[in-house]
Structures are given as structure tokens and as C-alpha cells.
Structure 1
Amino acid sequence: MVGEAREPDSETGPLEGITVLDASQVLVGPFCTMQLADLGADVIKVERPGVGDQTRGWHPPQFGEGDEGVSAYYSSVNRNKRSITLNLKSEEGRELLRELARDADVFVENFRVGTLEEWGLGYEELSAENPDLVYCSLSGYGEWGPYAERPAYDLIMQAEGGFMSITGEEGGPPVRVGVAIADIGAGMYATQAILSALFHRERGGSGQKVDVSLFDGQVAWLSYMASYYFATGEPPGRMGSKHPTITPYQAFPTRDGYVVVAAASEKLWRNLCRALERADLLEDERFETNADRVEHREALEELLEAEFADRTTEEVVETLEAGDVPARAVHDVGDVFDHPQVEARGMHHEVPHPDVGSIEMAGSPMHLSGTPTTIRSHPPKLGEHTDEVLAELGYSADERERLREDQVV
């Protein structure tokens, strides 16, 4: 039945009972583990004492004021988790991680390749004590190949993985996509791989190693642009908002902004001409088929730009949508979170926070009818759950205090 995921009848996520040990930081790993947390997993975020995830210090902007403020960046990918502090440079801290890993279902890390193996925390060591463990390593280039040991950042990946060569205006400089798509893309692939490994384990298999890299993710995301190159032998270039094989399918300037028009089929092309009262374009041999329109792209763009230049964005959208042509205004982020569909789909949340009152964030796009995703708790304060997790391991209050005095936690 359409809409049956709208009002789920359970507060239990599909990953309830799954424990994820998250030794990652910044974006790729935390984005992956937040998805698992939204799906109901118990995610234990392991952080350095006194410092924590690097992004805790990435502000402004932040929620709240002064030292009690919370980094907006950190908040975006760390909800629904419990934070503990462990000094992994100490042997006792590493032993505590091993103890946690013995009972975990998933371990996620994005240390520089080889670091955890040097500390005796690699897949071989942890899986020897917990064969059911799904161990996910995230890195810039993966665990083998000539670049395996190089550090990586999203900007580097967007450049080296080809995305900046196809992003930006024709003839202009290369442009980075506005969000860190290399990190987020690899985080999504990691989540898929982890869920697949858990599914395999539940069907009678064992745990396994998962290796996901930012670079591989960028190469995979080239998708039809890669096929364009394979088919022609020519690397595609920057085209702004235009599409290499469909036109008109792009942004056009209006009197007061921009509108995007997606006439992605012959039917929609005919609808566009009729909506604009330009039946003459239907008789123009240059525009008869999509292939013709691509060949004569510049001439068509000039004609359409003239049609839109004296109209407001709202007028263009109303005219084209009335004619059954997909067209929308180009929104800024503020417009997005005022959008009625965002409200209807629950994609804007406000979560109480003990220090700053509340934190706003985007919701989860995964809607399940029986076991929904949930936003249950604020992005944790550094070490907020250290005592709680250590108590679950059986450590007494005196033992926990001794670990603090010894700077293990």
C-alpha cells in the first residue's frame, strides 16, 4: 500500500542488538556509523582523551556559545552514538579496545593504513578472538596498491578521482562539489558493505574484513561519465549544469534568479515547446530529436535563454509545470529546510542537548514501515558514556577512577 512507511508501528530499528565499535573520526567513518546508529545499532564512539574527534574543534559555526558550544560539523554525523575515551597509545587502552571488540558485531576505523596493525588491533588480531566480527577499514586509497599508504582528504580525492574535471562551467577552473562527496560516498559504500557482511554472517557465515576507499568510491561514482570516456576515448569536460547527452536539461537565468528545466524525453520536449507557445521549434529540423538538439545545443540554449530572460523564476516554473514539464527554482539551503516536502518526510529534526538546549539536523532518508530509523539522542559530549560502557564491561567505580588517573581513559 502506498504510504505504508509513513506511520511505522515500531520504535525498534532493524539493527537493534547490533553493537558497532566506532574508532573513526572526521566524516567518512562517522557518516557510515551514524547510518548504522539511525537503523538502531548501539554505536560506541571511541575517542582520544581530552581531544576527541577532530571535528569537535571545527568551528565556527557552532550551536551555543563559548566553550560549551558544539561544532556544527561534528553534530552533523554523530547523533545516536555513545562516546567513550580511550588512549590507544597505551597498552592498557588497547587492551580495553580488544575487550570491547570481543563482544562487538562491527568495528569501523579510518586510521592511516597499517597503524592499527602496529598496535596489535588489526583484523587478524581482533577476529582471532571474535570470528564473527565485521571489521571495516576506511582509507584514502585502500589497503593495497602503490598509493595505499598515502593520506587523503576529500579535496584530493575529488581532484585525483576525476570529479573536479567535470565540475564547474565550461572554460572555467575546476570546482569542488559543495559537500565532501568522496567521504560521504565512501561512507555510504561502507554501510552497504557492512550490512551485506552482517547478512552473510546471519545466514551461517562468519565475520570478515571490509576495505573501502575514498578513491575507489570516486571512480565508481563516475558511472556514465566513465562510460562516455570508454565509448568515445575522449575525457568529458566541465559543462556547468548541462548534461552531456540530454538537452535542454540544465539551469537557465531568469529575471530574478535561475530555473532548472529537465526536458529529458521527446514527450517532454514537445510539452516544453507547447508550454512556451513555440510550436515553430517542433518544426525546426535542428531540434527534431534529442541527438539533433545535442548537436545544435548552443542555438537551442540561445533561444530558450531569450524565452526566460524577461520572466521571473516563479512565472517560468508555473508555466512549465502547467504544461507538464519538470522545472524548479534553484534553492539555497535555507529554502530546502523551509520546503513542505522536507516537513512531510520528517527530514528536519531538532534534538535536545544538555549544554546548548537543542541542535537542528537533517533527518534520515531511510523510511522503513516496520522497523524505522530513529533519532534517539544528541551527538554525544566527549567521553559522555565512558563510565556507562566500562560499567557494562564489569569495571567498578574504583577501577574506572584508576583508569582516569593513569590517563588510559
Structure 2
Amino acid sequence: MISDLPLSGLKIIDLTNIIMGPYTTQLLGDLGADVIKVEDIKGDMTRSIGIQKSPDMASMYLGVNRNKRSITLDLKQNISKKVLWKLIKRSDVLIHNMRPQKINRLGFTPTKVKKKNKKIIFVGLYGYGKLGAYTGQPAFDDIIQGQSGLASLYKIGKKEPLFVPSVIADKTIGLLASTALLSAYIKVLRKGEGSCVEISMFEGMASYVLLEHQYGQMFSPSKGTAGYPRLLSKNRKPYRTKDGYICILPYTDKQWLNFFEIIDRKDLKNDKRFSNIKERSKDINLLYKLIKESVKEKTNQQLCKVLKKNDIPHGVVNTLENLQKDKHLKKVNFFRKIRHPTEGNLVSPDTGIKINSMSLPIRKHQPSLGENSTEILEEIGYSSDEIKKILNINKK
């Protein structure tokens, strides 16, 4: 286990729920931060989403709330607000994903929070940025997938727009938020000054989608339509093989030349249409169709062997069920088995991050609702009698 994690000592008050915010804070908790998850008496909505063994401990919640502690506070009650103010004074970060009008009604505006703690980083995760046409409206992953243009990318030919079957907007903006938060923390370390950080799902996801798809509209006036043709090619997809599906992407000049050799199309090696990436881009549909036709009578094992030998990027299409059998993931111990005090044996995927060749540890199990209320209240100076009173007011 890593003894000194990068964010050890960083104290975060986490008022977020569902996926975007909890994913942000789980990443920070994985890196060593002390994350205090503040929940109302009903708890995070994800506590009831998915398979569950115990009440309020569903699979969705378990997937995004490790390395945290939980305290229940009904912030409509003055005594609970006082607890949060005490936490604010002693913390480095306050993060929430309420709509601006709700956090303002509760009295925890950026200005008031900064007045209590000038070094604190106030992070607001919003559906839409300030002063826009949609400011203050509710937003969830499906809505942002549609508004950002992501869903429309599936509309090839006469197909309808489709959602990516993953909470991709929530998770993408969670990554964006963690980056922005850590940048603000560096500022605190350099200048001793906190910041107000605002993250917009809509603007953030639109920027994410347009990175490659702005294309001809990058220029003013426009030099073409939006949409990166290679990614929108109707033939860009996993290819059917004799015993499954495989993804193949020759990309460099050398990789394409090797591929032409493999499929016994040496004539294409001198074809000017395929001589460099600029020329290949003009006929990418033809090339993808060529791949499709060349692999359908071969097995995945046969293809992987020859593609690996020729250093051509490839990978067999895994199902969710057989991911745990993937030979690479097994070798790197990606699926970690942990023992939870109430949920028993759990399997927790690794993060993909290693520091000094070591994975980030699971230091704290996913907490039950309000599991750590007493210890957190003790840490900020409440007496036993005061704690009993606070706990009684914040019972489910």
C-alpha cells in the first residue's frame, strides 16, 4: 500500500449525489483526500439504484463511494447548518451539485463560504453555466448527451439519435471537475488563496464533443461542415469474425502497409489514395470496408496473432460479463476483491492510476448512511450531549 498518498491531509466536504459529483470525490478520495460525504436523511439517490443486499447500499452507490465517510445532515434545520459551517471552517474544499438557487436558499453562497474560510475552494457542479438561456434548469446525463450533440453522432443515414449506454456525461464532467479542483488547490498551496470553481455539464460536454467534431467549423468563415468523417464512417465499427467481433485500426503509414501485406493486397501499397493519412482520410469508408471483408472468415485468435506480430492496433470485443476473464486485466489484478463490513465480498475495479508502480488503495469502505456521523462531530468539537441532539434531529 502507498503510505503517503498525494492528497493526504486534504479535507473535502462533499454535498454531491448521484454520479458526477460522487465520481469526482471518489477519485480524490482514492488519491488520499479525507472526503466527508454529507447526505440528507434520505441519503444519496444511488443508494436505491441497482442490486442490493442491504437497504440503502445498492450497487450503483457502492461503485462510486469508496474512500469516503458519511454524515447525515438535514440542512433545512439550523442546528445542521451550524454543523456544516463548523466543517467549512476546518476544510479545504466544499463541493456540491445543487442548482444555484437551491444552494443560495440554504445560505451557503460562495461569498458567505469564502467569508468563513478564505482559503477554501468552493466547487459548484451545474447543469448549465451562469447567465445562459438554460441557467437553473435541471440536467441529467441523458439531457446533456442530447444537447451536447453526442446523441446525434449516431444519426448516420436514416438512423435516429441514440444515447451512449453509459453515464458518459456525468463521468466525463467528473474528470473535468477533479482537474479544475486540483488546479485550484495548487493555487492555494502557491498563494494561500481559495477559489470559486464552477463546472457546467452542458458547456463541458459540448467542448468535449467538438474537440474533433468541430472540424470545418473551426474556421471563420467555415471551411466545411462539422463532424469528423473518419469517426462518422458507416463502416467504422467492430468487425464480425468467424467466432466473434474484433476492433482493428491501422493508423500510421507503416501499419497500413503491413495490413495490406497481411490481407494479400500488395497492390494497394503503391496506391496513391492510401499513401499518407491525408489521402487515406478521403477514402476511409473504402478502407474500413476492406477490413470488414478481410476478417470475416478468420477467428479472433488467428487475427490477434498476425496483427500483434505486425504491430497493428487491435482488440477483441469484450462483453461486460467476460471482462473479468480478460487476460490483461487478470494479470494486472484489475478486479480487486474487498471485504465490506455489511455487504460481504465485493469486487472493485482498479482506477487505471499507479503511483510508484502501485495501485491506489481502498482505505475506507463505502459507508452506510450516516455511518461516521459521531466520529466527524467529535472531530469538530461537539460534546456527547450535543452529538446525541444532532443525531436525533438527523434521523431517517
TM-score of the superposition, structure 2-length normalised? 0.91
Q: CA deviation at 1:250?
A: 4.8
Query: Which one-letter code corresponds to 1:162 in the other structure?
Result: G
Give, in whole Å, the separation in 2 of the partners of 1:353 and 1:252.
Answer: 41
User: For 2:6 and 2:358, how far apart are their aligned partners in 1?
Assistant: 5
C-alpha change, 1:310 and 1:370, in structure 2 (3 Å) is: closer
- Matched letter for residue 360 of structure 2: T
Q: Shift in Å at residue 283 of structure 1?
A: 3.9
- Indicate if the aligned counterparts of 1:107 and 1:136 stay in contact, CA closer than 8 A: yes
Q: How does 1:155-166 map to 2 (within 5 A)?
A: 155-166=142-153
Uncovered stretches (5+) of structure 1, i.e. residues with no partner: 1-7
Distance 1:73 1:271 in 2: 44
Inter-partner Cα distance in structure 2 for 1:71 and 1:210 = 31
**Contact kept? 2:144, 2:169, Cα under 8 Å:** yes
Amino acid in structure 1 at the alignment position of 2:73? L
Quick one: which of 117, 139, 145 aligns to 2:104?
Answer: 117
Aligned residue type for 1:45: K
Answer with 385-394 or 336-345: which moved more. 336-345
Contact 1:133 1:207 in 2 (8 A): yes
Equivalent-residue separation in structure 2 for 1:298 and 1:120 (angstroms): 57
Match of 1:312 in 2: 299
What is the distance in 1 between the residues matched to 2:146 and 2:330? 35
Taking the aligned partners of 1:146 and 1:14, their CA distance within structure 2 comes to 40
Secondary structure at 2:238 match in 1:
strand
1:264 to 251, 267, 282: 251
Matched, 1:225 2:213: yes
How far apart are 1:30 and its partner, in Å?
0.4
Equivalent in 38, 42, 46 of residue 34 of structure 2: 42
Superposed CA deviations along residues 76-95 of structure 1, whole A, max 9, x for unmatched, are 11001000000011111111
Q: Which amino acid is the alignment partner of residue 53 of structure 1?
A: D
Unaligned runs of 5+ residues in structure 2 are none
Q: Structure 1: how far apart are the matches of 2:196 and 2:102? A: 16
Q: CA deviation at 1:206?
A: 0.6
Distance 2:268 2:315 in 1: 22
Distance, in Å, in 1 between the alignment partners of 2:342 and 2:155 is 41
Cα distance change, pair 228–343 in 1 and its aligned pair in 2 (3 A): farther
Partner residue, 1:331 = 318
Q: Kindly state the Cα deviation for residue 227 of structure 1 after the two structures are TM-superposed.
A: 3.3
Give the distance between the partners of 1:331 and 1:25, measured in 2 at CA: 30
Instruction: State the distance in 2 between where 1:187 and 1:180 align.
Output: 11
Aligned residue for 2:88?
101
From 215, 226, 239, the counterpart of 1:235:
226
Amino acid at match of 1:347: F
Structure 2 CA distance for partners of 1:145 and 1:28, relative to 1, 3 Å: same
Task: Tell me if 1:77 matches 2:67.
Answer: no
Q: Cα RMSD between the aligned structures?
A: 2.4
Contact between 1:83 and 1:380, CA under 8 Å: does it hold in 2? Answer: yes
User: Is the 8 Å Cα contact of residues 215 and 224 (structure 2) preserved in structure 1?
Assistant: no
Aligned partners of 2:276, 2:367: CA distance in 1, in Å? 56
Asked if the contact 2:95/2:122 (under 8 Å) is kept, the reply is yes
| Match in the other structure for 1:55 | 46
Partner of residue 190 from structure 1, selected from 159, 170, 177: 177
Q: 1:79 to 1:308 in 2, by over 3 A?
A: same
In structure 1, the partner of 2:22 is: 30
Q: Distance in 2 between matches of 1:168 and 1:340?
A: 35
Matched, 1:16 2:8: yes
Q: Which residue identity does 1:236 align to in structure 2? A: G
Aligned-partner residue type, residue 304 of structure 2 = V
Q: Distance in 2 between matches of 1:333 and 1:228?
A: 37
Is the alpha carbon distance of 1:202 and 1:69 closer, same or farther for their aligned partners in structure 2, counting shifts above 3 Å? closer
Secondary structure at the counterpart of residue 333 of structure 1: coil
CA distance in 1, matches of 2:177, 2:16: 12
User: What amino acid maps onto 2:231 in structure 1?
Assistant: H
The one of 318, 321, 337 equivalent to 1:350 is: 337
Q: 1:248, CA displacement in angstroms? A: 8.9
Q: List per-residue Cα deviations over 1:106-139 (Å, max 9, x = no partner).
A: 0110011221122211111111010010010001
Whether the 8 Å contact between 2:16 and 2:97 is mirrored in structure 1 is yes
User: Of residues 337, 362, 366 in structure 1, which corresponds to 2:353?
Assistant: 366
Report if the CA contact (8 A) 1:359-1:378 is conserved.
Answer: no
- 1:200 alignment partner AA: K
CA distance in 1, matches of 2:339, 2:44: 21
Query: Is the Cα contact below 8 Å between 1:32 and 1:191 reproduced in 2?
Result: yes
CA distance in 1, matches of 2:152, 2:142: 12
Alignment-derived partner of residue 88 in structure 1: 75
Distance 2:65 2:250 in 1: 39
**AA at the equivalent of 2:322:** D
- Using the alignment, how far apart are the partners of 1:282 and 1:312 within structure 2? 25
Matched to 1:166, the amino acid is: L
Return the offset for 1:408: 7.2
Amino acid at match of 1:183: D
CA drift at 1:180? 1.2
User: In structure 1, what is the equivalent of residue 266 of structure 2?
Assistant: 279
Structure 1 length normalisation: TM-score? 0.89
What secondary structure does 1:203 align onto? helix
Aligned-partner Cα distance in 2 for 1:305–1:15: 47
SS in 2 for 1:360: strand
Contact 2:22 2:64 (C-alpha < 8 Å) held by counterparts? yes
Helix, strand or coil at the partner of 2:389: helix
* Partner AA of 2:39 in structure 1: E
- Residues 253, 308 of structure 1: 8 Å contact kept: yes
Partner of 1:4: none
- Residue identity opposite 1:34 in structure 2: Q
- Cα deviation for residue 347 of structure 1 reads 2.8
The secondary structure found in structure 1 opposite 2:354 is coil
User: Match for 2:353: what amino acid?
Assistant: M
Tell me, in whole angstroms, the C-alpha distance in 2 between the residues paired with 1:313 and 1:254: 7
Q: Tell me how many residue pairs correspond in the alignment.
A: 392
The answer to whether the 8 Å contact 1:249/1:262 transfers is no
For the residues of structure 1 that align with 2:76 and 2:56, how far apart are their CA atoms?
Answer: 28
CA contact (8 A) 1:261 1:328 kept: yes
Aligned to 1:3: none
2:40 is matched by which residue type in structure 1? Answer: R
**How far apart are the structure 2 equivalents of 1:91 and 1:392?**
20
